[in-house]
């Protein structure tokens, strides 16, 4: 069997008396898109922050390539190859695509004791990496603010891949996008997966999950309700599991079948 790129085993996270995660176990294999579904308050945000080093688990363990690891900061998680693309992309709209792509990691060229931003290399790499993802920029100086929401998501994903992500966490990447932009982002996810990178796709949209997912795990009130492989569960079953099938059935009965 393939050793998972990352595996979280019986993770608990407590904030004082509040139990945000109560024994969550999830793994991601190379080239796999593992969709983590759950409604608001299910624990998705706490889970990805624990995976990436923002929070330290109260109990449980994290393994990368079969070896236990412990991250005391997000930087340590990034250095290990865990990259997170959040809903708010932390990009500066008036700055160029190139500047946003290289932010904090600018390539330098030296002139004796002096150094400066190597714009030529930065522009060439940015254009090439965006083209790999299917985005053909007019020019590298194009402001990020002129791109569509889907294209900005692609910039963030391409940046993470270029800088060595082994595991890519996508936090609700399609939640604020239209149909065409969503299709572009899902296509980007498929390209990244085929390169061997493991993807955790956080969403509450079952249709988007079914489009790209290889495995599906439902999170509810800090617990996993189950994990299924593609083909083992239908979209309706996944939706019921996520929304709480019994609760929906009771509501439908009380409303006379109008739900």
Range of the domain at 55: 6-254
In a domain, 1, yes or no: no
Six-digit token pair at 215? 């495995």
In a domain, 151, yes or no: yes
High-pLDDT (> 90) share of the chain, %: 61
pLDDT value at residue 255: 66
pLDDT value at residue 115: 86
As a whole number of angstroms, the longest Cα–Cα distance in the chain is: 80
Q: Is the pLDDT of residue 178 over 90?
A: no
Residue ranges of alpha helices (H) inside 133-258 are: 149-162, 179-194, 206-212, 235-243, 245-254
In a domain, 26, yes or no: yes
pLDDT value at residue 1: 63
Q: Is the pLDDT of residue 254 over 70?
A: no
In a domain, 159, yes or no: yes
Regarding predicted confidence, which is higher, 252 or 230? 230
Q: Is the pLDDT of residue 256 over 80?
A: no
Per-residue confidence at 253, pLDDT binned at 50, 70, 90? Answer: low
Which CATH number does the domain housing residue 24 bear? 3.40.50.300
Domain count, the chain: 1
In a domain, 14, yes or no: yes
Contact 47, 11 (CB under 8 A): yes
In a domain, 24, yes or no: yes
pLDDT value at residue 242: 79
Question: Among 53-57, 96-100, 127-131, 218-222, which is the least confidently predicted range?
Answer: 218-222
In a domain, 259, yes or no: no
In a domain, 197, yes or no: yes
Contact 193, 167 (CB under 8 A): no
Quick: pLDDT tens for 190-211. 999 999 999 999 998 999 999 9
Regarding predicted confidence, which is higher, 1 or 39? 39
pLDDT value at residue 112: 79
């Amino acid at each position: 069997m393939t050793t998972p790129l990352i595996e979280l085993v019986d993770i608990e996270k407590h904030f004082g008396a509040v139990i945000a995660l109560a024994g969550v176990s999830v793994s991601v294999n190379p080239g796999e898109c593992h969709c983590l579904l759950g409604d608001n308050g299910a624990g998705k945000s706490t889970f990805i922050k624990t995976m990436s080093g923002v929070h330290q688990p109260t109990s449980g363990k994290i393994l990368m390539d079969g070896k236990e690891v412990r991250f005391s900061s997000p930087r340590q998680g990034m250095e290990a190859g865990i990259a997170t693309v959040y809903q708010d992309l932390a990009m500066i709209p008036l700055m160029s695509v190139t500047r946003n792509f290289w932010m904090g990691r600018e390539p330098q060229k030296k002139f004796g004791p002096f150094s400066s931003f190597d714009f030529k290399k930065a522009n060439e790499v940015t254009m090439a990496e965006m083209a790999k993802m299917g985005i053909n920029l007019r020019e590298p100086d194009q402001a990020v603010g002129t791109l569509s929401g889907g294209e900005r998501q692609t910039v963030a994903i391409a940046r993470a891949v270029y800088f060595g992500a082994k595991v890519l966490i996508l936090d609700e990447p399609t939640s604020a996008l239209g149909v065409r932009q969503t299709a572009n982002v899902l296509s980007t996810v498929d390209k990244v997966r085929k390169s061997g990178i493991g993807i955790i796709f956080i969403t509450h949209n079952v249709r988007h999950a079914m489009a790209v997912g290889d495995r599906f795990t439902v999170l509810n009130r800090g617990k996993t309700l189950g994990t299924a492989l593609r083909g083992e569960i239908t979209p309706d079953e996944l939706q019921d599991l996520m929304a709480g099938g019994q609760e929906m059935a009771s509501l439908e009965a009380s409303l006379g079948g109008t739900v």
